[in-house]
Structure 1
Amino acid sequence: MDLRVVGGAPADPFLSAADLFETEFELSYPVFVRVRDDPDSRTWAGHYQDRHVLNISRQAATSAMARELALHELSHMARNEEGHVSHYQSTREAVFLALAGRTVERRKLAHCYQIANHCKDIYADDLTLSVAPADKLVQFLESQLAAALADRPQASGRPGSRLVTAGSDPEITAVNAAFALALVERHDLVEPDHRLYDLAHAAADDAPSVSLDTFKERFRTLADDPSKSDYRRTLVDVVKHYVVNPGMAAD
């Protein structure tokens, strides 16, 4: 893999991630790692005609999770190159179809994009977890959810690439908790008595209008290789469920 780090961060975590990723997967295009100073934009991948760009905050690039975050973004790049529908279906189109004719407050609209991004993350992490030990990822999910609960929200929330911590309101925190449970159950990563379940149920208690179990099952059971129409329908349904059917919390 042709990987180059730009922006003054240590290259070792990214080179280590590339070496580990290449034990199972290949990328045809070079990867440029660009370190950003904005700590709120943790990581995201950009895809172009002749390259991929792994954007990462300086804070994340120098953290203990740098290798794992890089692996996650490399997985997004691999999904992009293989043409997986999750990485080509327009999120904007799915949200528009789900919310057509409805007025939705900006807070909820931002959450819809985050929910759709969780679906994409599931498919990336299917690859990540096939090459990397899961311990640090589970700890990461646990710490992010604990931080969100400790910061009982006073802000409106904003979309992010993984679990939102500071400023998350109870509803999206509950959905984030469902995503975390879905991921660990999809890959059998934890036992039923793991602390993540206690945290998730605490998040659900704070948001009675959100069904933790419903969102968990929708994320957990995403088909491995859906057709374009099936995946569009999945995104439309999960977004519509969040906005239109919040009353189905007592599943």
Structure 2
Amino acid sequence: MTLRLFWKLVRLLMKERMEYRGDFFLAIAAQIISYTGDYIIIWLFIQKFNHIAGWTWPEIALLYSISLFTYALGAAFSFVQMRDLEGQVNNGTLDALLVKPVNPYLYLICRGFNLGYIAHLVVSGSVLIWALTALDLEWSAMQIIYLVLTIISGALIQTGILTTIGATSFIWVRSGFLFNLFFKIKDFISYPLPVFGTFIQILLTFVIPFAFINYYPASFLLSRDTMLLSDEVMWLVPLMGPLCCLAGYRFWMYGVNRYQGAGG
């Protein structure tokens, strides 16, 4: 799978979606309204209590926007592809993918690239820019680089976790319930980690590294202390993304190598 072939697939997907452009744009509008509503709910909540664990509205907006923006980038290459993998394994239609002369994982995620996440990017990107402006941070070149690396890393973390969940289809066949669990756990990082108890903080740091998507990077940019990681470790945070993605890919390839066909 080359970059040239990927862009060719994207162009074909765009042509396919534009055959029903009304449905495509209505879906995007619905997503924009839905996520705008989420922001409004959080804003109203903070207006009632002024802050959450000492975090103000622009800081919470930054936190939530990084989470949503990186989810959109990562899920565009992994969510639908991994969610539908259960059905392909169960029905045996995955076999057609495995006989193609390309890396099956790369072909799967590129072929299923989801253009619908444009809505997520528009909403979260707009609020992210506003939050960074409202916070009036003194930016250095290193901080800008850190923010870019954070966004890339966050997208890779979510891709890696979704890929890992999808790979369980090769072993258990049924994996849909794990995606529901993914979204329920991901809801925790919509708020600052100190809101939750020590157990949740440890879980989201050392077991399921959701906190590395937005909380630790945002804390570093905002010069906030964290309970579990020191400032010296913050520059290692962007490494979590490549590590998670690589681990997810390795597990997926391990699973596909064990795949023996429908009912195998």
After TM superposition, the score normalised by the length of structure 1 is 0.33
- The structure with the largest strand share of the pair is 1
Please tell me whether Structure 1 or Structure 2 has the larger radius of gyration of its CA atoms.
2
Of the two structures, which has the highest relative contact order with CA contacts closer than 8 Å and spacing of 6 or more?
2
The TM-score normalised by the length of structure 2 is 0.32
The structure whose residues are more often helix, as a share, is: 2
